[in-house]
Amino acid sequence: MAQITAALVKQLREMTDSPMMECKKALVQAEGDIEKAVDVLRTMGIAKAVKRAGRDTNEGTVATFVSEDGKTGAILELSCETDFVGTNPKFTGFAAKLAQVVAEQNPADVDALKACEMDGSTVDAELTEMIHVIGENMKVMRFQRVSVENGALASYIHLGGKIADIACFEFAKAESAAADEFKTFAHDVAMQIAATAPVAASRDDVPAETVEHELSIYKAQAAESGKPEAIQEKMAQGRLEKYFKEFVLCEQEFVKDSSVTIDGLAKKTSKDLGDEIKVKSFVLYRFGE
């Protein structure tokens, strides 16, 4: 069993906003396993959600790039040493250029990216030059290229680059991509993703292990009620439905208008354009995770 240190209790408290003593009890019950301790607190109904606190080890930014035709894009995380540099336009601009290289040259990994051509040189040489100019170490932490054949992409950057995403939309008519109605819808959906951090675009895309894990928590909570098993099952399923509505993008209430869901917004936009607009997927990066 891992030692229950004050630092571990503090970390659990920051992650769950739960009382210090309850955190300590949960860690004892979970034998020092912080992830299991979170589940203990959730089962007890003390922790409602888990923050992603305490994972940032440095500073930096998340940048995105989407091609002019909206078909290809990339998201990239670039780290540095201080917040001052992390918000410097020269640094954030360089990160955006790196994202463009990823989108256009499709490197397999960070080493392949460093070998890519950039401004008549290589990414590695340009990165080294940027380190010398700014005077801080920098590192490409991760990136992902995104493309769509029949549709378009949209990106959104929040909190000065601490959160960013690329949303992928599919539709039948090529001209829909240029329509103002689609552009507004795509921007709003990308903003929604940054604001709410959904786990998937549709419930079918939620990993089976995530569904099983959530259901096990809800069943344990229902068991605490002492009600008949059939009622407990309905309670657990009801809470799972609530989970989908809260964490599945297309089922979420639109942050700008709670009377409509993202799926409802997609249907309205589809009707306006005489096309079928679908929110296919998204990539969300939160800096330091």
Domain boundaries, the chain: 1-54, 56-147
pLDDT for residue 51: 53
Q: What DSSP designation does 98 have? A: H
For the stretch 234-261, pLDDT in tens is 999 999 999 999 999 999 999 999 999 9
Residue 219 has φ and ψ, to the nearest 5°, of: -70, -40
pLDDT at 289 over 90: no
Instruction: Provide the token pair at 154.
Output: 């949209």
pLDDT for residue 2: 66
For the stretch 192-202, pLDDT in tens is 999 999 999 99
For the stretch 22-75, pLDDT in tens is 999 999 999 999 889 989 998 888 775 555 433 333 799 999 999 999 999 999
Distance CA 27, CA 33 (A): 7
Tell me the whole-structure pTM to 2 decimals: 0.79
Q: What is the dihedral of CA 122, 123, 124, 127, to 10 degrees?
A: 130
Residue 209 has φ and ψ, to the nearest 5°, of: -65, -30
Instruction: Provide the token pair at 176.
Output: 């829909």
For the stretch 91-125, pLDDT in tens is 999 999 999 999 999 999 999 999 999 999 999 99
DSSP strands (E only) in the chain: 59-66, 72-80, 117-118, 121-122, 139-147, 151-158, 163-170, 253-254, 257-261, 278-286
According to CATH, what is the number of the domain 56-147? 3.30.479.20
According to CATH, what is the number of the domain 1-54? 1.10.8.10
Residue 218 has φ and ψ, to the nearest 5°, of: -65, -35
